[in-house]
Structure 1
């Protein structure tokens, strides 16, 4: 069975959230769709979740794909510490190579020691000046996630957060911001660039995306700029 490219998985999740916006469904349904998209998009994950918080850090909505995620998150809320809360509060991605040896949240790490969780990746959900919460994935082996995975997840945190902020508020689909449209355009551009590299024999979709991220670091450009250059150059060259 062919596995979808990670960008396609997350694109589908954003599309499902858009559908919820159009039909005015509940926020809980939206965060669940997003969690499911993340779970299938990030290789090695045993579960994913989305948590929304108010300004005081109180949880307002949670979506999770597996019970192990629900339990790990519950312990974060109960203890007031953990990667998801840190990503939300500090507004930065949090990558944990091995929970068993990580010392940043000793109480939480000890509390989840019996759970099949070793690696963690959490990224904040930011819409404009508002930090809505965080998205996270868990794996049962160490060293599963890296900075490339964090950047991939950040690519989709922006449009997802914007959509979630609209569902939470009273705005309609016609009021979706230009920043969301730009984010969705960026997603399509990255997909096109991946397709070009795949056509050139770059292997899998994950390998093509990793190659683009390496190019971005080497050239000191954004991922979107590198993809735009590649697509433009291919169009100009006629192949």
Structure 2
């Protein structure tokens, strides 16, 4: 579990963050995985493209977190933002409103890297930060509660997972823990699809949206992983995740990043975003 920065003043993610910080301080074996996280970890994304993976994440959240809808966007706070999957028209409308108005829980979660939780959009002082968005939701959508979770992996914000309810009410402590854990798992899954040539796209071709159709050398990726773990003093799993995150941000192939690491043209440091 990662460390969580302090939310902005008046941030609606503070109660949930306190729970996650407490969980992070416990021994890993003592933190029980929630229903959604277990479902995602038990599933295989082999042969799926990013849209199918996003659909799986959203559907698992709706089934396990007592919410009415979910939507995932990538590169949310950038000009390259993209909605990967929405469970229903209302979820899609929420996303479009936030993108159009450039404000809302989703945009705040993307820029701060902190969960944004609004138990009641009609009666919350927190939505004063997004008055136009709050008014638009009240007028156009049957939504009372909104929860935005950054899809974060290390220092990289992959995108945002938005959940909504038609009735007001906060997430329980267990649901909050599960949602954040599931968002981290989902970020890892999406990074893998977008940067690993071992995946196939919707047409059955190797690689995700940003990948070409060439065959990569697993040996080079394995060698680069060893170099990065030595540079940063981290585990092999975390080293591979750092390379995937870098490839995601730079919109490059994982194999190309690995080759630069092996050739010493690219060196990873703790300060790299």
TM-score (norm 2): 0.56
What is the match of residue 13 of structure 1?
40
Match of 1:225 in 2: none
In the alignment, which residue of structure 2 is the partner of 1:215? Answer: none
| Counterpart contact for 2:36–2:60, Cα < 8 Å | yes
143-152 or 26-35, which deviates more: 143-152
8 Å CA contact 1:126, 1:161 repeated in 2:
yes
Q: Check whether the contact 1:93–1:150 (CA below 8 A) recurs between aligned residues.
A: no
Q: What is the aligned counterpart of 1:35 among 54, 58, 61?
A: 58
Equivalent residue number for residue 131 of structure 2? 106
CA distance in 2, matches of 1:146, 1:109: 23
The whole-number CA distance in structure 1 between the counterparts of 2:129 and 2:99 is 16
Unaligned runs of 5+ in 2: 1-32, 200-217, 226-235, 240-273
Q: Is the 8 A contact 1:84 1:134 kept in 2?
A: yes
Greater displacement, 109-118 / 51-60: 51-60
Residue among 138, 143, 156 paired with 1:117: 143
> In structure 2, do the counterparts of structure 1 residues 152 and 12 end up closer, same or farther at CA, with 3 Å as the change threshold?
closer
Match of 1:79 in 2: 101
Name which one, 1 or 2, has greater alpha-carbon Rg: 2
Normalising by structure 1, what TM-score? 0.63
In the alignment, structure 1 segments of 5+ residues that lack a partner are: 1-5, 181-239
Q: Structure 1 residue 166 and structure 2 residue 196: aligned? A: no
Larger proportion of helix: 1
Are 2:36 and 2:178, in contact at CA under 8 Å, matched by a contact in 1? no
The aligned runs of 1:1-239 (5 Å cut-off) are 7-16=34-43, 19-20=44-45, 22-23=46-47, 25-43=48-66, 45-53=67-75, 56-101=78-123, 102-114=127-139, 115-146=141-172, 148-170=174-196, 172=198, 178-179=237-238
What is the CA–CA distance in structure 1 between the aligned matches of 2:143 and 2:83, rounded to whole Å? 22
* SS of equivalent to 2:85: strand
Q: Flag the 1:130–1:65 CA change in 2: closer, same or farther, 3 A.
A: same
